[in-house]
Chains A and B, each alone.
Chain A
Amino acid sequence: DTAVSQTPKYLVTQMGNDKSIKCEQNLGHDTMYWYKQDSKKFLKIMFSYNNKELIINETVPNRFSPKSPDKAHLNLHINSLELGDSAVYFCASSQRDSPYNEQFFGPGTRLTVL
């Protein structure tokens, strides 16, 4: 059973398009995250949702909009894609009040903007 899943795994698109990445977790966690990993493997948090409410919104362009229909899902919609958006995007989840607050990661979505 996959704990945190993301679709699609690969996404190739043209500049200016709008695209979405979906994330689902079956761990019963109350908090979900989106991270961006650049080509040098640096991991940057973008958003964090706790019980469907936004709790972290780091400095990202407002072209990026997360949507959480329920606790188990956190989708990422990107408008007007730019070349610099090319990266690997990871979804993660955690249980915020657990002793460790460790995060569980999805397999990633590699976005390539041409």
Chain B
Amino acid sequence: GDSVTQMEGPVTLSEEACLTINCTYTATGYPSLFWYVQYPGEGLQLLLKATKADDKGSNKGFEATYRKETTSFHLEKGSVQVSDSAVYFCALSEYDMRFGAGTRLTVKP
């Protein structure tokens, strides 16, 4: 069945550092791919999405590119801020939504 594997956390970075959170997927067809973010005490919010190979999703300085050849959708940001501290979930949707285990990011001033 469909599944998502993302890098284990926690990830701790200093402000203005570069971020990469790896995400790979397994699917039988052509899923849509998502990154969701969960800030402390809140529900999940959609951060960005991509529906087909080579699509790049972007929002709030975050980017991820749908790579069919490597079945990956890595999340990147060039310069993180303290306000980016949250848990990030990679997800795919083909017939149903499948979430990764989540990666906790802490950004220190």
Taking Cβ atoms with an 8 Å cutoff, the residues of A that contact B are 4, 33, 40-43, 45, 48, 56, 90, 92, 94, 99-108
- Taking a contact as CB atoms under 8 Å apart, the answer to whether B89 and A43 are in contact is yes
Contacts of B38 in A (CB 8 A): 41
Interface size class of B (residues with CB under 8 A): 20 to 34
Query: Please, what's the 1-or-0 string for B9-36, where 1 marks a CB less than 8 Å from any CB in chain A?
Result: 0000000000000000000000010101
Total A-B residue pairs with C-beta atoms closer than 8 Å? 50
Residues 53 to 109 of chain B near chain A (Cβ within 8 Å):
87, 89, 93, 96-97, 99, 101-102, 104
Known A41-B38, A41-B87, A48-B96; judge A100-B32 contact (CB<8 A): yes
Give chain A nearest CB distance to B1 CB in angstroms: 12
Give chain B nearest CB distance to A100 CB in angstroms: 5
Nearest chain B residue, comparing its CB with the CB of A48: B96
Q: How far, in angstroms, from A104 to B43 measured CA to CA in the complex?
A: 9
Give chain B nearest CB distance to A108 CB in angstroms: 5
Nearest chain A residue, comparing its CB with the CB of B31: A101
- Taking a contact as CB atoms under 8 Å apart, the answer to whether B32 and A105 are in contact is no
- Taking a contact as CB atoms under 8 Å apart, the answer to whether B99 and A102 are in contact is no
- Taking a contact as CB atoms under 8 Å apart, the answer to whether A102 and B46 are in contact is yes
Nearest 10 A-B pairs (CB), nearest first? A105-B43, A105-B44, A41-B102, A101-B93, A107-B43, A43-B99, A100-B32, A108-B43, A41-B87, A106-B43
- Taking a contact as CB atoms under 8 Å apart, the answer to whether A56 and B96 are in contact is yes
16 examples of A-B residue contacts, CB within 8 angstroms: A41-B87, A41-B104, A42-B101, A42-B102, A43-B44, A43-B89, A43-B99, A43-B102, A45-B97, A102-B34, A102-B46, A103-B44, A104-B46, A105-B43, A107-B42, A108-B43
Contacts of B51 in A (CB 8 A): 99-100
